[in-house]
Structure 1
Amino acid sequence: MHRSAADSACAAGIVAFAVVNLTFGSFALQYQPMPVSLAKLSWLSIASALVMVSAGSAMAWPRTTRIAAMAVACWLATWVVALHLPTIITHPASFGRLLPASEVVAMAVGPALIATTGRGAEPMTRIWLCLFAAAQFVFGLCHFLYLDITSSMVPGWLPGRAAWAVVTGVAHLAAGTAMAFRIRLRPIGGLLAVMYLAFALLVCAPLVAATPDRHLPWLMLTITSCCAASAFKVSTLDYPFRADIAAVASRSHDA
């Protein structure tokens, strides 16, 4: 399988995320709510991180890229379904519960697209694009629902911190809309990746530098990097998809 820079970025992001959790010896906050009985099992968090490190590393080898990427996507999806979905169903109006689930979904999109991109895979590609779009909607709405928190994360040297929070929230919503309708995937994916990288450099990296012994800033940095890699992967997709072209050609022929 031919590897692209986006594939390498996805693999590096997943490995970095897993190494952070392995280093701190605890489950990522994005895996919460974790049952108390499981959260106390340090060996389980280490095993989970090792699975991610192994699968992420295997994504770097052309012969195992696709199957390893599918393993990563399935592993992350398992956490969403097993831990987040039950609480989302019981508290559907709580965006605080949707946010961490959406972050895990956004992380999984890049590896999932690597695993499913190819001849005959257009339906699965569309599904993952819709999931990534849904995650962008959640991120964007959270910018407005939690405007004070979002504004406080904007670097103090930037003027109009609330305005930046609003603008980036609108950008998430716009990107989600474009991906849901598969409009200009290459430029939208590329611009979204740049925005995530800006978050990583301007928001997350300074927090890591200020408090390198805390788990949360490292999680924020690696998760944001994984989201950037997923958006980068979206920017490499060919659209219109072959199936869409065939459908248009068939309708034109029938007419």
Structure 2
Amino acid sequence: MVVTAAAIEWRRTAAWGAAALTGYYAVFVLLLMNGRLLVSGYAVYGTYENIAMQLALAASALIVYATISQIGRALTVRLTRLGRMAFGVCSMIWGGAHFIYMNLTAPLVPKWLPSGQVFWGCVTGVCFIAAGLGILTGIQARLAGILLTVMIASFGLLANGPMLVADPSSHFNWTESALNLALTGAAWVVADSLAQC
């Protein structure tokens, strides 16, 4: 993962790095690691939420690969669309998780925000679903992608950041912050790809 992530940083190896990350997340993370979790936890919504997080990373890597490699216009369009559609579905799954796991979502909202923690848990859940629908249908898709990127980034500032500062020795807090940063980047990739539509 470190080598492929570094490869994306250089123009000459970026397409290779994006293809390798897409393959890694699609095969090793989604199929091999999460596939067995899906079999054992198919009735648990959280299983789908976790898979959606990994799928979103694979989808954004696919979009990066499609847009920077020399694979032909028709294939670029198909792969980019596939990545966007996968990401749109992921966004809707995350929105559903906000409602199903409100008891875990609401406490992450800062108490100082007006209207209460449950209110903001519901608002962000609706926003995830609306963004997913926008990306899937193409209705205000670019705006949906931009606002989704901003919302996920705000989670890093308002939820993950304070948790990390409060307990920097917690591996969970570091992992959640890193995942939030990765998903912010993934949403940004999707939003940027919609600029070409």
Q: Name the TM-score, length of structure 2 as normaliser.
A: 0.90
Which of 130, 147, 162 pairs up with 1:174?
130
Whole-Å separation in 1 of the counterparts to 2:129 and 2:195: 21
**Alignment of structure 1 residues 136-151 onto 2, 5 Å:** 136-151=91-106
Between Structure 1 and Structure 2, the one with more helix by share is 2
Matches of 1:69 and 1:223, distance apart in 2: 18
Q: How many residues align?
A: 190
Corresponding residue number in structure 2 for 1:104:
54
1:229 counterpart = 2:185: yes
Alignment of 1:75 onto 2:30: no
Residues 61 and 179 (structure 1), Cα distance of their counterparts in 2 relative to 1, 3 Å cut: same
Q: What is the CA RMSD across the aligned residues, in angstroms?
A: 1.7
What is the alpha-carbon distance in structure 2 between the residues aligned to residue 211 and residue 106 of structure 1?
28
Quick check: which has more Rg, 1 or 2? Answer: 1
Q: Does 1:134 align with 2:89?
A: yes
Q: TM-score of the superposition, structure 1-length normalised?
A: 0.70
Aligned-pair identity in percent equals: 28
Cα deviation, residue 210, structure 1: 1.2
Report how far residue 238 of structure 1 moved: 4.6
1:161 to 104, 108, 117: 117
Amino acid at match of 1:58: A
Secondary structure of the residue aligned to 2:2 is helix
**1:29-57, Cα deviation, whole Å (9 max, x unpaired):** xxxxxxxxxxxxxxxxxxxxxxx111111
Q: 1:90 deviation in Å? A: 5.0
1:223 Cα deviation from its structure 2 partner: 0.9
* Matched residue, 1:217: 173
Unaligned 5+ residue runs, structure 1?
A: 1-51, 242-255
Contact persistence 2:92–2:132 (CA under 8 A)? yes
Which residues in structure 2 correspond to 1:192-203 (within 5 Å)? 192-203=148-159
Partner of residue 12, structure 2: 63
